Chains A and B, each alone.
Chain A
Amino acid sequence: MTLTRTHLFGFVGLVALAFALYWAKAEAQAVREKVLVLQDEVDTERRAVRTLEAELTWVERPDRLEAAATRRLGLVPMTADRIATLDDLDQIAPLRVAPPTVDAKPIAPKPAEPAADKSKAIAAMPAPVATVVAR
């Protein structure tokens, strides 16, 4: 049997193809492994997220929040008389119409006045529920 150049090229081509296939498969394997590693990481992160969620819920327990809000921020629960609709607004805090003068002087302090009034009112407001909260 004589081996022609065609045989030679054919053989070399075959080897090249086989190698290419092997290389592709090896590459696929490597990528696959990388995916698995990433999936593992995702799983680990998910677990961590769930743990953190549980911890967050624990530190956000309403009793703890209430105690903190009362002690550090001076907040008290809202009472019904502090809820109003837009229609009530006019009655609760009527707009002060500036007297029809050309002089700008009295207008300037007037808008500031109700604000000062209010802040004083809030400061003077008793906090009846706060006493219940304190333990």
Chain B
Amino acid sequence: MSDARRPEPSFEWPRPAPRDQGGIGTMRGRTIALAVAFCAGFGLLSLRAVQIGLFRPVDEAATAARAAVAPPSKRADIVDRNGQLLAISLVAHSLYADPKRIWDPVEAARALRKVFPEMDEASLVEKLSSRSRFVWIKRRLTPKQKQAVWELAQPGLEFIEESERIYPMGHFAGHVLGSMHPDGSGINGIERALNDRLTTGSGAEPVRLSLDMRVQYILERELGEAASAFRAQGGAAVMLDAKTGEVIASASWPFMDPNRPEANTPNQQNNRVTNSRFEMGSTFKVFTVAIGLEDNIITPESVFDARAPMRIGSELISDFHGMNKIVSVSEILAHSSNIGTVRIARSVGAPRVREFFSRLGLMEAAGGELLENARPILPKRWSEIAAATASFGHGIAVSPMAVAGGYAAVSNGGHYIRPTFVARDPAVQVSSRVVLTPATSKTVVKLMREVVTNGTGKNADALGYEVAGKTGTAEKAGPNGYDSNRRVSSFAGVFPASDPRYAIVFLLDEPKGYAVSGGAATAAFAAAPSVSRIIARSAPLLGIAPNRALAQMEPPRAPTLKSAPPPKTNPSQKATQGEP
């Protein structure tokens, strides 16, 4: 039982000895002053320690350090419609120098030349002794080079992280992808056209193109082989999804490797699919026939007089494959009669030809998103003669892409859809404009199929996939009129004919005949066989089931007899064996 009011025992503080009392001059005074000073000092220190220990945000220092090494801004990846990587930004190290901190420019330059033997010593010395605080030595080193420079241990040489754009597929789809300026903007292709979309936003979402790289590869392979076998000046090939306008594959020869933009000549950089214009020749006849059918001026059985060359104004129009007889519309297409086509064009009239071509997108730049997108060269005045020559593809020069768009429109039930290089969302309705009735479209496809089964396009057929289309061999205009030695040979078509899903255009610019093609460089030999092989190989990848009627023609119990399509109608297949 303790008393609650009993005071707690108190501490005895040390008391000064009685004789040591006095002012500041005394020993005691000095001691106290010193004690006060120490106390104040330690007090301040402890207060600061408490402030730092208890009241400062936890990660201030660390985040500040981290911000200094933030990675360079990221450009979105580009992938194809199946997610295959086409362009990716990686972090690379670039080397720069701070000349103020260089001890001996000559020594530093010599050291650098050990790593970069291709550099010029004099210009290096000049760079390293300049007055500025920053000079680039080399952008985007390989890891090996970086290590080597590191080991030089030269003061004043510094690394900086930069974004590097890599195109892991090499030259495949190079023209579509385009390339990058070292400073981070697109020079051409999608890199330029969609620069804003690639750089803004989170940067994490890749841009999905409509290309299918498997088909792109097949297209480029055939284009490259045909172009070198026929020693062409250039070539272009494009495949469109006729129902959505998506570009499945697009190739221009000579190819371009976007990884080395500085190594590509302007001729290589030119995307002939969208940026070159050609007088396409007979492939246009399909459009002319379509107008006639749509306006009920002709039927597939209508006949025209193609017995003699025809004179319009000062021009004499004759046939390459002269038939010299009365021909039906299907024969006009199958044997590519200029005279017959002009007669159809005259009966529909020049204004209608012009209006229809414009609805088909042939009178505007049709290159999709790309900015390398040439406008067509059109007749200045759509006179009767201009419309007559345009009806068989002369006097009007368009890009191969425009022709592909036109073929897609006349075969897909009559809807023109602007081509696009970006994958469409299947849930979103495709905007289109009506150019033909579905019935006309069906008839046109039937006529195109006859070109391949009975006409000039025989070499384009692919076993089981019902190719329909039209050959076109146009002479190029030179200083002295059309030159019969310089041609543009092309094939434009769709497949499968029973329900056209894909449109394809294949073109060689100035192909030269050679032994294996029998000296011929017309479309039937220079373009059609390649189309056949492209379709035969890509259709299974695109999920198109082959026509069974063909399989039934095979002897069912003798699998040894079943082999690939007979190569006898494919002169340039042998060609590819003969030519390296």
Interface residues of A (CB under 8 A from B): 2-6, 18, 21-22, 25-26, 28-29, 32-33, 36, 43, 47, 50-51, 53-55, 57-58, 61-63, 66, 77-85, 88, 91-92, 94, 117-118, 120-121, 124-126, 128-129, 131-132, 135
Asked if B170 CB lies within 8 Å of chain A CBs, one says: yes
**Taking the nearest CB of chain B, how far is it from the CB of A125, in angstroms?**
6
Contact B10 A3 (CB under 8 A): yes
Contact B169 A57 (CB under 8 A): yes
Whether A47 touches B90, Cβ cut-off 8 Å, given contacts A36-B62, A81-B463, is: yes
Residues of A near B205 (CB, < 8 A) are none
Residues of B near A118 (CB, < 8 A) are 559
Contact B85 A61 (CB under 8 A): no
Contact A80 B577 (CB under 8 A): no
Asked if B68 CB lies within 8 Å of chain A CBs, one says: no
Contact A121 B539 (CB under 8 A): no
Asked if B565 CB lies within 8 Å of chain A CBs, one says: yes
Give chain A's interface secondary structure class. helix
CA distance A43 to B50 in the complex (A): 35
Q: Which residue of B lies closest to A29 (CB)?
A: B58
Contact B170 A61 (CB under 8 A): yes
Contact partner, A32, options B58, B462, B536, B580, Cβ 8 Å: B58
CA distance A88 to B548 in the complex (A): 9
Contact A79 B463 (CB under 8 A): yes
Can you list 7 A-B pairs with a CB-CB distance of less than 8 A? A36-B66, A43-B71, A54-B85, A57-B84, A80-B539, A81-B562, A132-B576
CA distance A58 to B533 in the complex (A): 25
Contact partner, B53, options A25, A51, A55, A91, Cβ 8 Å: A25
- What are the 5 A-B residue pairs with the smallest beta carbon separation, nearest first? A80-B464, A57-B168, A80-B546, A62-B217, A128-B564
Give the interface segment out of B276-284, B324-332, B452-460, B550-558: B550-558
**Taking the nearest CB of chain B, how far is it from the CB of A30, in angstroms?**
10
CA distance A32 to B479 in the complex (A): 76
**Taking the nearest CB of chain B, how far is it from the CB of A91, in angstroms?**
5
Whether A62 touches B462, Cβ cut-off 8 Å, given contacts A25-B53, A33-B62, A88-B551, is: no
Contact B58 A54 (CB under 8 A): no
Asked if B501 CB lies within 8 Å of chain A CBs, one says: no
Contact A79 B565 (CB under 8 A): yes
Q: How many A-B residue pairs have CB under 8 A?
A: 128
Whether A80 touches B168, Cβ cut-off 8 Å, given contacts A43-B71, A132-B577, is: no
Asked if B560 CB lies within 8 Å of chain A CBs, one says: yes
Residue among B90, B217, B551 with the highest chain A CB neighbour number at 10 A: B551
**Taking the nearest CB of chain B, how far is it from the CB of A49, in angstroms?**
11
Residues of A near B515 (CB, < 8 A) are none
Using an 8 Å CB-CB cutoff, how does the interface string of B169-188 with A read, 1 for contact, 0 for none? Answer: 11010000000000000000
Whether A54 touches B90, Cβ cut-off 8 Å, given contacts A80-B540, A81-B464, A131-B577, is: yes
Residues of B near A91 (CB, < 8 A) are 552, 556
CA distance A121 to B85 in the complex (A): 39
Q: Which residue of B lies closest to A120 (CB)?
A: B560
Contact partner, B59, options A4, A32, A82, Cβ 8 Å: A32
Using an 8 Å CB-CB cutoff, how does the interface string of B181-207 with A read, 1 for contact, 0 for none? Answer: 000000000000000000000000000
Using an 8 Å CB-CB cutoff, how does the interface string of B293-331 with A read, 1 for contact, 0 for none? Answer: 000000000000000000000000000000000000000
Contact partner, A54, options B168, B217, B536, Cβ 8 Å: B168
Residue among B54, B169, B545, B564 with the highest chain A CB neighbour number at 10 A: B564
Asked if B221 CB lies within 8 Å of chain A CBs, one says: yes
Residues of B near A61 (CB, < 8 A) are 168-170, 172
Q: Which residue of A lies closest to B561 (CB)?
A: A121
Contact A80 B554 (CB under 8 A): no
Whether A2 touches B10, Cβ cut-off 8 Å, given contacts A28-B58, A79-B536, A124-B560, is: yes
Residues of A near B91 (CB, < 8 A) are 47
Whether A80 touches B217, Cβ cut-off 8 Å, given contacts A21-B54, A57-B168, is: no
Asked if B573 CB lies within 8 Å of chain A CBs, one says: yes
Residues of A near B58 (CB, < 8 A) are 25, 28-29, 32
**Taking the nearest CB of chain B, how far is it from the CB of A57, in angstroms?**
4
CA distance A33 to B166 in the complex (A): 34
Asked if B563 CB lies within 8 Å of chain A CBs, one says: yes
**Taking the nearest CB of chain B, how far is it from the CB of A116, in angstroms?**
13
Asked if B465 CB lies within 8 Å of chain A CBs, one says: yes
Contact A77 B537 (CB under 8 A): yes
**Taking the nearest CB of chain A, how far is it from the CB of B378, in angstroms?**
39
Residues of A near B11 (CB, < 8 A) are 3
CA distance A18 to B556 in the complex (A): 92
Asked if B118 CB lies within 8 Å of chain A CBs, one says: no
Q: Which residue of A lies closest to B88 (CB)?
A: A54
Residues of A near B537 (CB, < 8 A) are 77
Contact partner, A126, options B62, B539, B563, Cβ 8 Å: B563
CA distance A79 to B462 in the complex (A): 10
**Taking the nearest CB of chain A, how far is it from the CB of B249, in angstroms?**
12
Q: Which residue of B lies closest to A30 (CB)?
A: B58
CA distance A132 to B224 in the complex (A): 13
Asked if B140 CB lies within 8 Å of chain A CBs, one says: no
